[in-house]
Amino acid sequence: MKFYNRKTEIQELSAIYSQSESESRMTVITGRRRVGKTMLALEFCREKRFVYLFVSRKAEHLLCVEYLEEIRKQFFLPVIGDIRSFRDIFALLLDLSRHERFTLIIDEFQEFLNINPAVFSEIQKLWDLNKSQCRMNLICIGSIYSLMHRIFEEAKEPLFGRVDRIITMKAFNISDIWTVLQDHGCRDPQSLFDVYLITGGMPKYLDLLTANAALTRERILDFVLTANSPFINEGKNLLIEEFGKDYTIYFSILGLIAAGKTSRSEIESVLQIQSGAYLARLETDYAVLTRVKPIAAKPNSRFQKYRIADNFLNFWFRFIFRNRSAVETENFAYIREIVDRDYNTYSGLLLEKFYRELFAEKKTYNRIGSSWEKGNKNEIDLIAVNDLEKKLVIAEVKLNRARIDLAVLKAKAEKLLLSYPGYRVEWLALGLEDIGAYV
């Protein structure tokens, strides 16, 4: 797939690169796997001199042999002795950058923890001693969110305070997904929603679907739910290393949330454990969950729900992890039957999220969310607030717009409107058929 968007990230990388003309700079690119971190770095360096080093799990001295080969592709090196440590590789590269500015990309940077954790201290010492005399534009890429946070943002770690910029990459937004689909000859808003529902805008997943001409619901599910599909084990592959030995508890919690048990009390009643610490880590350390409150709730309100932030992981836990016995027996026809049976119910909730994201893309509103009262009463799917202009959009979202009664919506919003005196209100009924008007 060709390179799309990422204009903001490219601008940030360009600004840091300009600064490295006078003194070395360090940038971290993080974000979950498949989001396009490596592609971003390589696209940025396409017309610049750079060295790309991938940290694979092997003996340090074997990595050094590979790295010397990569360095020789860009620079003439005199005959040097046997280099067996990354410390010496990094010192060599810093020395080269005294004479010429270039970009050094270190991919899967967190893997040094499994090879030689002392590397971080060694980089810190060399960086502090040489940064001001060198012109290296260092880009460290990492896929394990919790480890990258620990390496660069925890005060006790050697590289804390050394990084000049942390770029956290996110999935494509809906407009970007629409551009990709149109470039592949698909202009059906229904397909846009179905692709969004499965991929959440992850570039690698979009690449897989477009390469396999799987851009309608039937074709997408045919491709995803097969024995050799790259999606079947994807959730496990993404998260087991993040979660470590406690992964079974985290997977159980995420499975319950995907199935609709979105409050802490519901989770604890099923698992019979205190889930607060696990939920906090899923939200803060791993960035897998988001905590959602009614839009008019007070900041200290405990009235909240948890949702899986990533659309694909939500789908994976709802339909694949939950039916892992069928996966083991390769009974994908059974899973497909479950998906077909529940698709409308499941996609209805995702359509609400879809429209909230579309409204966020407009940059017209400073707050966007939903609302509900105790016992999930008087639920309102979409509320967009512009406090400067004192205007509100209040919308009901359903797959079939004909099932929406705006009079009922207005009755449900009576209590909510008490929080917004003097605001002009626009009432909307939004269905699948309205997508084309907003993209």
pLDDT band, residue 146 (cuts 50/70/90): confident
Alpha helices (H) along 20-59: 37-44
> Is the pLDDT at 374 greater than 90, yes or no?
no
pLDDT tens digits, one per residue of 150-162? 999 999 999 999 9
Contact between residue 355 and residue 189 where contact means Cβ atoms under 8 Å apart:
no
The pTM of the full predicted model, rounded to 2 decimals, is: 0.91
**103 contacts 43 by C-beta, under 8 angstroms:** no
pLDDT bracket for residue 131 (50, 70, 90): very high
Residue 230 pLDDT exceeds 90:
yes
Specify the pLDDT at position 88.
96
Fold of 234-354: Arc Repressor Mutant, subunit A (1.10.10)
pLDDT at 217: 96
Q: What is the mean pLDDT of residues 112-135?
A: 97
Q: What confidence tens digit (pLDDT) does each residue in 159-182 have? A: 999 999 999 999 999 999 999 999
> Sign of the CA dihedral 54, 59, 60, 61?
negative
pLDDT value at residue 4: 85
The closest of 366, 370, 372 to 356, measured between CA atoms, is: 370
Task: Measure the CA–CA gap between 238 and 260, rounded to whole angstroms.
Answer: 22
Asked whether the predicted pLDDT for residue 82 surpasses 90, the reply is no
Domain 7-168 matching CATH 3.40.50.300: the answer reads yes
pLDDT in tens, 292-350: 999 988 877 778 999 999 999 999 999 999 999 999 999 999 999 999 999 999 999 99
pLDDT at 180: 96
Give 393's contacts (C-beta < 8 A, 6+ positions apart). 359, 365, 382, 383, 384, 425, 426, 428
Q: Please state, rounded to an integer, the average pLDDT across all residues of the chain.
A: 94
Q: What is the mean pLDDT of residues 113-125?
A: 96
* pLDDT score of 79 more than 70: no
Instruction: Delimit the CATH 1.10.10 region(s) of the chain.
Output: 234-354
For CATH 3.40.50.300, list the domain ranges present in the chain: 7-168
